[in-house]
Structure 1
């Protein structure tokens, strides 16, 4: 019988071979190609840094795998721009519904060197995970929203959670019955500022994790609306691998056959590293995730 430690993933799980700044991963099964796809924010970590420029100007990177252990870089998603110029794409949320793939991705015009610019969530659809058609720019609770997570909370009813930076970076929610028209239902997590919500079911319960910059906060719910904070954060501090040197950040959960895997990113060097260039390098990591009573745990 496998123990939790015997199910560990390689570390790092994936490094972006172009800019070495893989972050915000999401993993999905591609039925047509019979393999897993990882989509991620391709941070320009090794590019020139002017203010916060290397955090912006990112494309959505793509890697594939047949076993979720070894990942092959395949390039970036092209033709996503809705206006001229070099623009910014972050944190894709991608899933399949009724035979169509949907992507909700954070978008910023251009390559800002500061944080003071509008941010929106764009909706795209695809039949093959490569060719995407722009559908709309979502009208949500403010002009500074990022990090969408979408989950079917009951048959034909979808809920989206996201970070609203104009409202103390709390987690807000919207609801839809067709994935195209969304109605904001308001603030849902307000105990602290955080980002990157991800909602899933495991062990008969409903869970949300968020990146609170002190590891990952975790919440449990009976109804996908009222959330109870779990006592302990996940992925606090560095891991044991030399590439895993910070808190875990912005994670995705893949649940298959009753088992869960968590994909997250970390800095490759400690947060107090004197070299700013090295501090910018990130990598995707992975491990198993377990539900035990009213808490989550993972073996890093």
Structure 2
């Protein structure tokens, strides 16, 4: 009898996936940059050769303690950090990305990575220099397209050229036989606009009008539960737009991740997110400033620090819901070839 019970116990343990154990609940923070402690603006892609998930992110120099509290030098001069994971839960720092100097500059922000037919495409925000104030002359951002076959060696593939300037924070999806990019147009009052392309090189505005009236940045577009969704950072949480055609959008009431979480390192609004759809589940990776943590009481620059968190997006009654305080066990699976 004892032998039979032992056999049954082993069988049950083998039937339960390892990621369902309490030890594999996603930690808070999910990821913290070990060099500058300023990870933000993530883009997550599966490396098909290495069989790893890779996180590319804006690597803010958050530990800088500048004498002038209004000095934003620490948000400039930023490389793109890289972390890797086998399951999307446990991440390890891998250094910074090596991009060609011919099409980049001192300040790199908000990567967006897309895979198709053996090639990885990255759209990257470039700011030409290091600046000490927002909105100064010469600090106009642009979007560069880079390509790679291994997520390591990158080639310049052209500047995104439209009849506007100060374009940042792109996200790209494939629609039918073409592609659509959404981006923040700072000359359109910091609203989200869209452009189309047949070849990922030449882009044409969909309209001179933004996708909706709300100001925002860091848009992410994805398909989930039969709808297209656009999530963007509106500085009081993330607005959520829903569409059936990725052209006409309805803004849903309220903002997700706007209310602070209750757990340490997650006690401020969620910002500039990426979303990974894995089968019938979707996971939102977002960054959080650390100004509500205990360390901020004695360190006036602690608020500059940012960490990456993850939560599950739940579809209910035509909306997306997020419980950032819920214990979350999951494992990202390799995408289909």
- Please indicate, yes or no, whether the TM-score normalized by the shorter chain is above 0.5: yes
SS in 2 for 1:231: coil
User: Structure 1 residues 231-240 or 204-213, which shifts more?
Assistant: 231-240
For residues 203-239 of structure 1, the C-alpha deviation after alignment (integer angstroms, 9 at most, x for no partner) is: 1111110000110000101110110011121001221
Q: Which residue of the partner structure matches residue 95 of structure 2?
A: 75
C-alpha distance in structure 2 between counterparts of 1:107 and 1:249, whole Å: 20
Of residues 77, 91, 102 in structure 2, which corresponds to 1:57? 77
Q: Which residue of 2 aligns with 1:20?
A: 37
Q: Distance in 2 between matches of 1:191 and 1:8?
A: 38
Q: How many angstroms apart in 2 are the aligned matches of 1:146 and 1:221?
A: 23
Please say if 1:189 is aligned against 2:211: yes
SS at 1:38 equivalent? strand
Shift of residue 80 of structure 1? 3.4
Deviation at 1:270, TM superposition (A): 2.2
Tell me how far apart the structure 2 counterparts of residues 169 and 242 of structure 1 sit (CA, whole Å).
Answer: 32
1:46 pairs, out of 59, 63, 69, with: 63
Q: What is the TM-score with the length of structure 1 in the denominator?
A: 0.93
The runs of 5 or more residues in structure 2 that have no matched partner are: 1-15, 325-337
Equivalent position SS for 1:209: strand
- Partners of 1:130 and 1:276 lie apart in 2 by 37
**Counterpart position of 1:171:** 192
> Where do 1:148-163 residues align within 5 Å?
148-154=170-176, 156-163=177-184
Structure exhibiting the larger radius of gyration computed from Cα positions: 2
Q: Which runs of 5+ in 1 are unaligned?
A: none
| 2:122 is equivalent to residue 103 of structure 1 | yes
The DSSP-based 3-state class of the residue aligned with 1:114 is coil
Checking the alignment, whether the CA contact within 8 Å between 1:81 and 1:87 is kept in structure 2 is no
Aligned in 2, Cα 1:193/1:220: closer, same or farther, shift over 3 Å?
same
Secondary structure in structure 1 of the residue aligned to 2:74: helix
Change (3 A) 1:171 1:43: same
Aligned to 2:5: none
Q: CA deviation at 1:182?
A: 1.0
Q: CA deviation at 1:83?
A: 6.5
What's the counterpart of residue 220 of structure 1?
Answer: 242
Q: As a proportion of its length, which structure holds more strand?
A: 1
SS of 1:44's partner is coil
Tell me, yes or no, if the aligned pair for 1:244 and 1:269 is still in contact at 8 Å.
no
1:82 match: secondary structure: helix
Question: 1: CA distance between counterparts of 2:185 and 2:293?
Answer: 25
Distance in 2 between the 1:41 and 1:98 partners?
Answer: 26
User: What secondary structure, in the 3-state scheme, does the structure 1 residue paired with 2:27 have?
Assistant: coil
* Matches of 2:268 and 2:185, distance apart in 1: 25
Alignment partner of 2:101: what SS?
coil
Are the structure 2 counterparts of residues 66 and 93 from structure 1 closer, same or farther at C-alpha, using a change threshold of 3 Å? Answer: same
Q: Which residue of 1 aligns with 2:201?
A: 180
User: Partners in 1 of 2:190 and 2:158 — Cα distance?
Assistant: 23
Q: CA deviation at 1:271?
A: 9.3
For the 8 Å contact 1:8–1:299, the answer to whether it is kept is no
| Structure 1 residues 199 and 76, CA gap change in structure 2 (3 angstroms) | same
Identify if the C-alpha distance between structure 1 residues 101 and 279 changes in structure 2 by more than 3 Å, giving closer, same or farther: same
Deviating 4+ runs (over 6 angstroms): none
- The question of 1:240 aligning with 2:257 is answered no
The 1:79–1:200 alpha-carbon spacing in structure 2 relative to 1, beyond 3 Å, is closer
Structure showing the higher helix proportion among its residues? 2
